[in-house]
Amino acid sequence: MRMSDLIMKKRDGGVLTDEEIRWMIDGYTKGDIPDYQMSAMCMAIFFAGMDMDETYALTMAMLDSGERIDLSGIQGVKADKHSTGGVGDKTSLLLCPMVAACGVKMAKLSGRGLGHTGGTIDKLESFAGFSVEMTDEQFIRQVNQVGFAIAGQTADICPADKKLYALRDVTGTVASLPLIVSSILCKKLAVGADVIVLDVKCGSGAFMQTEEAAMGLANALVEVGRRAGKKVVAVVTDMDEPLGATVGNAIEVHEALATLRGEYRGELMELCLALGTQILRESGVAADDETARAMLEKAVESGAALERFAAFVKAQGGDSAAVYDKSLLPLAPVRKDVLADRAGYVKHIQAEDVGLVSMHLGGGRAAKGDDIDPGVGVALYKKVGDAVAAGERLGTVFARTEQAADQAAGMLLDCYEIVPEKVERAPYVKGVVK
């Protein structure tokens, strides 16, 4: 087989066979196929697409490029959740303890943030001493004892995806449906949960900007996941503004804890209930959506989810006292309010730019390996649809210096679009594909 022939076949709209796809992924992972040929293939796929058989074959070939995690030591049903990425997305911090408190185990591998999106691990490291380094045995023991664990990726899973994703990132080929589907699913399949719930973001802050494109991605993810023998559900949700009321690290943990305590009830809890409902029903612990939702609500109201979260922080070496005492979370001391420069209604908050405000304050990484400051970030008091008076607070920036605070405050104001006419907020959950 020759890579140049496969590139031309795909360029001309041909369908690659399972054997061709396996040969290509194997050769690329080993370094036999150079980046320039794989770049051309990615661009050909970007324009010509792939059918479901090809997408499935690509997913399985990428899965087989590396190790799989053996979760057979975990008792009961194991669930996993993945989000296609968003600003202010702290969902795992709430969803894992809520679901665990209802009797379904969550075994999650997470990553660090890069650019405008934050990573779950960075947020959790706001707890002094918290660690995501653990052996497979420790991971499994903790999931059995506490109900969930969140670890960094240690095993060499899906090396093909690592190489390919880095290549796509610099060749304008990230936003290709078959490449996204295979990239997400190969990693989820390598972890090996029985139930996989996917949060597919839709809007200006997401890969998929329209509802139609997001539903297309959701359908493809569910179909390929099912073919691989998993129970997969995709929930399409809004990303036309940051998720929830905060963007940063410790400040997002603070919001997650306040939401688990029942102090806030916004779209963050709505999203966790929507995702959690799918997990409990697909896992078989709830007969229907209504029962699942009631179980999750009870886990929050009773304090059981918060207790699980504290047990999880302690099990991973973190200071669990900070779960109950927010003064122990490292919030930056210089605070500057951002005031509305006109009256009206919030039409849009540019999610990506809010992520960049947090990054400029030091809360995110420009390059892999950069240190981050857990204490900086932003709080947003006004969200899409809210009425605003001139001079009213839109948000607050948390910074280390006055100069950084002034600059970030100006940037945050620019993220807001305020219009004179009333704005109807679209439903947060746009659809469920199962």
Q: How far is the CB of 330 from ligand URA (least distance, A)?
A: 29
Catalytic residue (one of 183, 283, 320, 358):
183
Under rule CB under 6 A, residue 92 binds ligand URA: no
Under rule CB under 6 A, residue 278 binds ligand URA: no
Q: Does the annotation count 161 as an active-site position?
A: yes
Which residue's Cβ has the minimum distance to ligand URA? 183
Q: Does the annotation count 32 as an active-site position?
A: no
**Residue 83 class from Cβ within 10 Å (0-12 exposed, 13-18 middle, 19+ buried)?**
buried
CB 308 within 8 A of CB 92: no
- Piece of the chain touching ligand URA by CB under 6 A; list 44-52, 179-187, 294-302, 310-318: 179-187
Please identify, using beta-carbon distances, which residue of 38 and 184 lies nearer to ligand URA: 184
The three-point CA angle 230-236-240 to 5° equals 145
Which residues are registered as beta bridge partners of 197?
81, 233
Q: How far is the CB of 83 from ligand URA (least distance, A)?
A: 9
Q: Does the annotation count 183 as an active-site position?
A: yes
82 vs 79: CA distance, rounded Å = 10
Radius of gyration (C-alpha) of the chain in whole angstroms: 22
Catalytic residue (one of 80, 89, 122, 161):
161
Under rule CB under 6 A, residue 84 binds ligand URA: yes
Catalytic residue (one of 168, 188, 231, 365):
168
Q: How far is the CB of 199 from ligand URA (least distance, A)?
A: 12
Catalytic residue (one of 187, 230, 365, 382):
187
Q: How far is the CB of 175 from ligand URA (least distance, A)?
A: 9
Q: How far is the CB of 61 from ligand URA (least distance, A)?
A: 15
Q: Does the annotation count 348 as an active-site position?
A: no
The three-point CA angle 287-290-293 to 5° equals 100
Q: How far is the CB of 327 from ligand URA (least distance, A)?
A: 36
Under rule CB under 6 A, residue 183 binds ligand URA: yes
Q: Which strands sit side by side in the sheet containing 393-399, from one edge to the other?
A: 246-248, 377-380, 393-399, 334-339
Q: How far is the CB of 182 from ligand URA (least distance, A)?
A: 8
CB 87 within 8 A of CB 116: yes
Under rule CB under 6 A, residue 208 binds ligand URA: no
Q: Which of residues 231-270 bind ligand URA (CB under 6 A)?
A: none
Number of residues forming the site for ligand URA (CB under 6 A): 8
Work out which of 180, 232, 243, 404 binds ligand URA, going by CB under 6 A: 180
Please identify, using beta-carbon distances, which residue of 165 and 381 lies nearer to ligand URA: 165
Q: Which of residues 339-398 bind ligand URA (CB under 6 A)?
A: none
Q: Which of residues 118-177 bind ligand URA (CB under 6 A)?
A: 165, 174
State the DSSP code for 282.
H
Which residues are registered as beta bridge partners of 34?
none
Long-range contacts of 91-94 (CB under 8 A, 24+ apart): 91/199, 91/243, 91/268, 91/271, 91/272, 91/275, 92/120, 92/150, 93/120, 93/123, 93/124, 93/252, 93/253, 93/256, 93/309, 94/256, 94/259, 94/260, 94/268, 94/269, 94/272, 94/305
| 101 closest CA partner among 311, 413, 281 | 311
Under rule CB under 6 A, residue 184 binds ligand URA: yes
- The number of residues making up the chain comes to 434
What are the E-state strand segments in 171-309? Answer: 195-202, 231-238, 246-248
Q: Which residues bind ligand URA (CB under 6 A)?
A: 84-85, 165, 174, 179-180, 183-184
Q: Which residues are catalytic?
A: 82, 161, 168, 183, 187
